[in-house]
Amino acid sequence: MQNDPLKNAESQLRAVASVLELSEKEIKALLRIDKLVKGELSVKMDNGKTKKFKAWRSQHNNAKGPYKGGIRFHPNVTESEVKALSLWMSWKCALAGIPFGGGKGGVIVNPKSLSRRELERLSRAYAKMIYPYIGESKDVPAPDVNTDGAVMAWILDEYEKITKRNEPGAITGKPISLGGSKGRLEATGLGGFFTLNSLVKAMKMKNPTLAVQGVGNVGSFFCRFAYEAGYKIVAVSDSKNMVWNEKGVDIPKALDWKLLNGSFEGFNGGKLFPADSIVGSAADIFVPAALENAIDRDNMGELKAKCILELANGPCTPEAEENLNKKGVVIVPDILANAGGVVVSYFEWAQNISGFYWEEKTIKERLKEIMAKAFDGAWNEWTEIKKIKKDNIPFRMGAYAIAVRRVLEAMRMRGRC
């Protein structure tokens, strides 16, 4: 098997298609990308020279509503990755029961090598490339790896300048002052925490320990919520180091250290190991919250955890999942575990369209309700499939079965397949 994200996404779909007994025609229709926008962004650098950056926006399927998905700025972005992420967004929105299809954007760039002004010019150039294809009822981008509220604000501003209208619902993950939603920043981490609670209950686990890979936006908020609720997090890592403490890492101290110093180097609240050793650390639940393919054929044998909570997108390759599933490891799939961000993006979009804004308490309550419902639905579906198939099928199949069935139903209603 391979680490090509699009091939992984296809093999996941084919696995659920065999459970749902879909035809090849239906599988092809579900795999089809509606539109791929690609181009090269010309950006003026501070030294006066112009640099080119490859960029994409993939629109997978809008049978259930406007395309929805983040924009990633990363040196390893590929066309295959952007397309795969757009497929996963379609399943994620359908599983959460929100009225969107799947989209995703990406630019090959290391944003850390750019100045603030260069980053702004890059974001505006990206907006110029995608503006005809986005909008509140067409395609609604949001932040992803290395993009944040500031990037969304520049993209929205450029889009509104070109289209000459005010349309805050065209982008989510905006700063609150531009129509962003309360609770959006921490939404994916909080949604992951609600899913953790559902998992622990469903598995009847007692005081499970956690190891969290990656403390960016998603990982750090997840750690804070889990820590405040009393979970023992024995390991956290960034791209350089893992901090290990069997008594539990003091999360606020560790995150403050990382914020002040840029890494865990010198932090004395635990032992430091190389970042990759976190996969083999002795914790009950492993929480990948960095990039895809974190667990593959090379390191799957090291894993000691009983469960994986996929906060990153695509962190387990299908080969790793198959292997771990045979060993009885329960993997809560990304389309379920990290849906909190897109759910609160949906709340943001709904607030923008109605012009009526909600309090944080309402947002958190509604997020909790949607995440719990999605988890219970997927868990029950999985239990049913296991009974019928009498087979060792991964939990992902329960989540995918619901999502794919919903997308297919919408496509059938429209006469698209």
CA distance 278 to 243: 9
Contact between 195 and ligand NAD by CB under 6 A: the answer reads: no
CA distance 76 to 109: 8
Q: Which residues contact 392 (CB under 8 A, 6 or more apart)?
A: 325, 326, 386
Contact between 281 and ligand NAD by CB under 6 A: the answer reads: no
Q: Measure CA of the first residue to CA of the last residue in the chain; give whole Å.
A: 29
Contact between 119 and ligand NAD by CB under 6 A: the answer reads: no
Contact 243, 270 (CB under 8 A): yes
Contact between 275 and ligand NAD by CB under 6 A: the answer reads: yes
- Residue 146 CB, shortest distance to ligand NAD, in Å, is 5
Q: Which is nearer to ligand NAD, 27 or 351 (CB)?
A: 351
CA distances from 250 to 207, 221, 241, 263, 413 (A): 17, 14, 16, 15, 52
Contact 172, 184 (CB under 8 A): yes
Q: How many residues bind ligand NAD (CB under 6 A)?
A: 24
Sign of CA dihedral 287, 291, 292, 298: negative
Contact between 217 and ligand NAD by CB under 6 A: the answer reads: yes
Place of tokens 């961000």: 341
Contact characters 53-82, ligand NAD, x per CB under 6 A: ------------------------------
Stretch that binds ligand NAD, among 32-40, 106-114, 234-242, 408-416 (CB under 6 A): 234-242
The DSSP symbol for 386 reads: H
Contact between 218 and ligand NAD by CB under 6 A: the answer reads: yes
Contact between 237 and ligand NAD by CB under 6 A: the answer reads: yes
Q: Which of residues 310-349 bind ligand NAD (CB under 6 A)?
A: 311-313, 338, 341
Binding ligand NAD (rule: CB under 6 A), the pick from 118, 238, 321, 348 is 238
Contact between 293 and ligand NAD by CB under 6 A: the answer reads: no
Stretch that binds ligand NAD, among 4-12, 160-168, 211-219, 373-381 (CB under 6 A): 211-219
Q: Which is nearer to ligand NAD, 19 or 126 (CB)?
A: 126
Q: Which of residues 130-189 bind ligand NAD (CB under 6 A)?
A: 143-146, 188
Contact characters 297-316, ligand NAD, x per CB under 6 A: --------------xxx---
Pairing label, strands 209-213, 232-237: parallel
Contact between 196 and ligand NAD by CB under 6 A: the answer reads: no
Rg from Cα positions in the chain: 21
Stretch that binds ligand NAD, among 21-29, 150-158, 235-243, 403-411 (CB under 6 A): 235-243
Look at residues 227, 175, 96 and name the one whose alpha carbon lies nearest to residue 348: 175
The SS3 assignment for 212 reads strand
